[in-house]
Amino acid sequence: MSTPTVVVQRGLWFDELALGVTYRHSPGRTISEADNIAFSTMTMNPQALHLDAAFSANTEFGERIVNSLLTMSVLVGLSVAHLTQGTIVANLGFSEASFPRPLRHGDTLYGETEVVEKRLSKSRPGQGIVTFRHTARNQDGEVVAVVVRSTLMHTAPAPASS
């Protein structure tokens, strides 16, 4: 009897990530009022724009808006299964984050990621540094966030010799 084939879900190895390619992530994630309140209170962020409906009604937004750090977290999270699940060593840093439009309760966040830079590590054999530009759009296609993130990624393991 033959051994069954097993396929393990993973992200892409450093070697598989192509410079200049945009990866579209699926599915999107609809952000609820409960998501926003839970995230804001869990992270000790009492900003009235996220929690106080009466206050927020009198702002230029006319309602509460989603915490931008939640937007950023979900955006990066949308990319994990596609790009970095089991293949990342560590996040090295976030060099840019912009939020050109607010995300509102009930909006759906869709993410895509472009590989903007990559190089093998000089000090860590078998690893490389990849810079991703993550872009979030709402259900209307409007950009609501752009985040640039630098990561340390594993290269593909050497094939097993027989």
What's the whole-number average pLDDT of the chain?
Answer: 96
What dihedral angle (degrees, nearest 10) is formed by the CA atoms of 44, 69, 38, 33? 140
Give kind and range of the element (H or E) at residue 87: none
pTM: 0.93
The SS3 call for residue 16 is helix
In the prediction, which pLDDT does 68 show?
Answer: 98
Q: Which band of pLDDT confidence, cut at 50, 70 and 90, is reported for residue 162?
A: low
CA 66/CA 74 separation, integer angstroms = 11
The SS3 call for residue 58 is coil
Domains of the chain: 14-32+66-154 (3.10.129.10)
Once rounded to an integer, what is the mean pLDDT over residues 84-105? 98
Residue 141: DSSP 8-state:
S
Q: How many CB atoms lie within 10 A of CB 63?
A: 12
In the prediction, which pLDDT does 1 show?
Answer: 76
CA 162/CA 91 separation, integer angstroms = 35
CA 81/CA 154 separation, integer angstroms = 15
pLDDT of 161 over the 80 cut = no
Q: For the ranges 14-23, 33-42, 60-69, 153-162, which has the lowest average pLDDT?
A: 153-162
Helices (H), 8-128: 33-42, 48-51, 53-57, 68-79
Q: Which band of pLDDT confidence, cut at 50, 70 and 90, is reported for residue 86?
A: very high
Residue 17: alpha-carbon gap to chain centroid: 16
